[in-house]
Structure 1
Amino acid sequence: MADERIEVRRTVPATPEAIFAVLRDPQGHVEIDSSGMLQDATGEPVTAAGDTFVVHMDRESLGDLPMGRYDVEVTIRDLEPDREISWTILGTIRPAIGHVYGYRLEPDGDGGTVVTSYYDWSGINDEWRAKKVFPIISEQALKATLGILERTVRRRAASASRG
């Protein structure tokens, strides 16, 4: 449903491989977060659907709910190296909410990559649908994250070239 999904795009002047390296890394998620909620992460870079890692959150950054600090488990739903990654989140809230975040990567033909970030809550649990609190993350926040992603990829590449 179009009203239950946000997609934003940005062309990033980097290869899909360089971008995917950030997106499969739990610390990469923290680095590119524009909401301020992701404080840290524990786990190894993911390699397959079903892989998990933990993100240490601080909902006070949004200022909408007094949830304070808590952890969520990120479970990779789709993973096609250098093409797509998506995940769901399980936190302290039960039943699981059921929203999905993800990225699709498409080479632009000029050495860059068109990155599509999406946030889909069309499959959320009916209990959450009735609360009418979605979307929690705005379209502007997704756009900001893509800008931070570009900066992060550029900085990682510069750091790697320095040795």
Structure 2
Amino acid sequence: MSISTKAGDKGETSLWSGERVPKDNIRVEAYGTIDELNAFLSDAKHYVKSQKVQQILKEVQNDLFKIAGELASKSKSYVHPIEEIDVERITNYVYGFEGELNLKGFVIPGNTLQSSKLDICRTIARRAERRIITLDRNEKVSETLKKYINRLSDLLFIMARFEENLEGKVEYKKW
């Protein structure tokens, strides 16, 4: 079976739950942005120095498959939704990194190659969140999914600072 089905040649795609929708549908835009984030995380994973950050990125990538699947399912209950335990796990990672870093002001992003990769991922996560909130205005999105995607950008921010800190390159905005 080929991955090229030609079913989308006229500008429509099938959701996981079977419905056909235009390719520019906000639901498709939301899970497409999650897919984009996943691809950029795969790039960042090759640059980060910390084994801990690499492992967390792998976990997040697995979570993003659940999120994309949930967003791609309109009428059926998705079998593997993001859960509160996933939100708690990444929230605890944020708290752990915060405890190690003690940030004290506005940080200028991207002072190492690996932190800049993570900062790009953070901005894509924020865009995904905006798409998900737009979708939620018309079609209900799980509160847990919204919490996870909000927390994810915090995690990506703090991991970028952690990577900078490993090289003594956290730079604060001077006013």
| TM-score, normalisation: structure 2 | 0.26
Normalized per residue, which structure has more helix? 2
Normalized per residue, which structure has more strand? 1
Larger Rg: 2
